[in-house]
A and B are shown apart, each in its own frame.
Chain A
Amino acid sequence: MAKKVKIGFYNDEGVLLSALKVLRHKDIKIHNVFTPYPVHGLDDIIGLKKSRLPIVAFIVGALGAFGAMGFQIWSLALDWTINIGGKPGLAIPSFVPITFEIMVLSGSLSMVAVFFLRNRLFPKLKVDNIIDPRATNDHYVVSIDPECCSDFNSNELENILKETGAIEIQDKEVIE
């Protein structure tokens, strides 16, 4: 569904950060911020929760490791024990390298997969969720949802943004 938001453009990291502080202070709910690079400290200001992606990596990685070790043991020690150079079928030490590799592989791939899903990152010929081309280049864009801060009308909001140093203000429809 489309959503009407007000967006303000900034062109300096410092200004952006201070602006965001002001907005928070005026408890204007910040709908989203778009930056050309990861701006540090942003998360706390707009109150993003820490991502739980590493947990995925850990669980799937662990599963991968167990699977790999298990398969090696099963295939060489249980399914069909062949005398290989007089070594015991159950040769755990020589199963370690592959176990490790599989762990890393499954862990990282799964995490990345989930990362794509959660951010709805899929190949599209026509991208639809771009706030503004400049947001990936040299501008920092703050979008505010007018509905969630009813004690300001849109003009007041624009003024506030201007005061905080926004160089430009627009109304825009974004897709949730």
Chain B
Amino acid sequence: MHDESKREPLVHSVSSLGQITEEVSKPLNERPNKVWYIYFGISLALLLFGAISLYFTLFEGIGTWGNNKSVGWAFAITNFVFWVGIGHAGTFISAILLLFRQKWRNSINRSAETMTIFAVICAAIFPVIHLGRPWLAAWFLPYPNSRNLWVNFNSPLLWDVFAISTYFTVSLVFWYIGMVPDFATLRDQTKNKIKKKIYSLISINWNGSAQSWSRHEIVSLVLAGLAAPLVLSVHSIVSTDFATSVIPGWHTTIFPPYFVAGAIFSGFAMVLTLMIIIRKVFNFDKYITLYHFEQMTKVIILTGSLVGLAYSTEFFVAWYSGNGFELFAFVNRATGPFWWAYWIMVTCNVVSPQLFWFKKIRTSIPAILILSILINVGMWFERFVIVVTSLHRDFLPSSWTDFSATWVDAGLFIGSFGLFFTLFLLFIRVGPYVSIAEVKDLAAKKLMRRSEDHG
């Protein structure tokens, strides 16, 4: 256990527990401010663009995308892997840091988890719409059917289906369990009749008795215990989509750890971006402190370096293996038609996180914001590079093609951001985006100390 006193206080100037409840529930009870409306408007616009693109995808066909006979996967799968990656930070923070008893997580884990949920929703859309016949997506599930035909459990794509749905369900449950006490608090505080009814429904009779709290703690702990390996498994499995294939550049054994590291890397970057935004929108400096950012940047330095290591390892192995196709695949990434994508990836993912070694940068909000966005860009390009540049020039030169995205590709990608932010902005209007109970836990310690000084 760490000595809290040595650290910058996590929760500034909280005079009473009630104050926390008030401050957290305040935005839920009053009309949102202008900033919120602006953000929400933008997100809705993006979402609309996505919806239009989706319409064309579904009613015209995948042909509206830029894919071709050799590049069967491009934007859709890139986006999928990207969003799943984003979706890793939340559970990582709430589960793994919980296991490590990292108290500082308490005030940010709720928004991180929320982010996970919405990110995974965005991710889950793409594998479905990238199907030639999305209306048959149910065929992925091994349900008894007239053909007596089950599914192919050897296919990594099927593993994905299970991994993603499990990950989503467990994260969702974890998220909800955590929110039940907060809903109860809101229920007991709100004056509004309808809200009371709704909160009563979703707070499922929570009364905060010692018994339920102790069980609640156990459940959270065990869920965390289960979720931790889950987080690691999900992206490992996603990576097998590529790792188990025969295509040079995909057929790589280091993918699972490399992808997990990348996922947490991008996830934390996204959490940072969001935190900084919320913090501005609702001036939350009290709950989300520089200390949090600093901690997260440290995780980013670590994972970022891991990713960098992975890149170099890939290259080394490609050369060392003596496999001509393999070597070409990588040289082609760096110097072929998509060299720009590759170098964007390298600069954003390998160079930029290293800047966090400097305390100055690590503690400057604007710097963190910029770098976190850069990292997100870089991580999207990492997936793009892996998916597209490996496919567009594989074994037979006769089938080499180029790839150029269409506006529909772009629309779906942008639209996914629209969806993500719309959902998030809606949530922070109706839900406890800061874990009231857990923050009180932190605050109470300080208050208690104070009261002891007095008497």
- Chain A residues close to B by CB (< 8 Å): 12-15, 32-39, 42-43, 46, 48, 50-51, 53-54, 57, 61, 71-72, 75-76, 79-80, 84-85, 87, 91, 94-95, 97-98, 100-102, 104-105, 107-109, 111-112, 115-116, 118-131, 133-138
The answer to whether the Cβ of B214 comes within 8 Å of any Cβ in the partner chain is yes
CB <8 Å contact, A138 and B448: no
CB <8 Å contact, A108 and B211: no
Complex Cα spacing A105 to B167, Å: 8
Q: Which residues of the other chain, B, contact A15 by a CB distance below 8 angstroms?
A: 451
Q: Which residues of the other chain, B, contact A61 by a CB distance below 8 angstroms?
A: 226
The residue of chain A having its C-beta at the shortest distance from the C-beta of B197 within the complex is A125
Q: Which residues of the other chain, B, contact A53 by a CB distance below 8 angstroms?
A: 215, 218-219, 222
Complex Cα spacing A71 to B153, Å: 10
The residue of chain A having its C-beta at the shortest distance from the C-beta of B158 within the complex is A98
- The prevalent SS among residues of B at the interface is helix
CB <8 Å contact, B212 and A54: no
CB <8 Å contact, A124 and B213: no
The answer to whether the Cβ of B437 comes within 8 Å of any Cβ in the partner chain is yes
The answer to whether the Cβ of B56 comes within 8 Å of any Cβ in the partner chain is no
CB <8 Å contact, B142 and A12: no
CB <8 Å contact, B170 and A108: yes
Q: Which residues of the other chain, B, contact A39 by a CB distance below 8 angstroms?
A: 210, 213, 444
The residue of chain A having its C-beta at the shortest distance from the C-beta of B449 within the complex is A14
The residue of chain A having its C-beta at the shortest distance from the C-beta of B221 within the complex is A54
Q: Which residues of the other chain, B, contact A79 by a CB distance below 8 angstroms?
A: 148, 150
CB <8 Å contact, B208 and A129: no
Complex Cα spacing A146 to B158, Å: 60
Q: Which residues of the other chain, A, contact B17 by a CB distance below 8 angstroms?
A: 36, 137-138
Complex Cα spacing A120 to B148, Å: 42
Interface string of B294-314 (1 = CB under 8 A from A): 000000000000000000000
Binds A, one of B28-36, B108-116, B176-184: B176-184
Interface string of B401-432 (1 = CB under 8 A from A): 00000000000000000000000000000000
Complex Cα spacing A137 to B21, Å: 7
Q: Which residues of the other chain, A, contact B283 by a CB distance below 8 angstroms?
A: none
CB <8 Å contact, B185 and A111: no
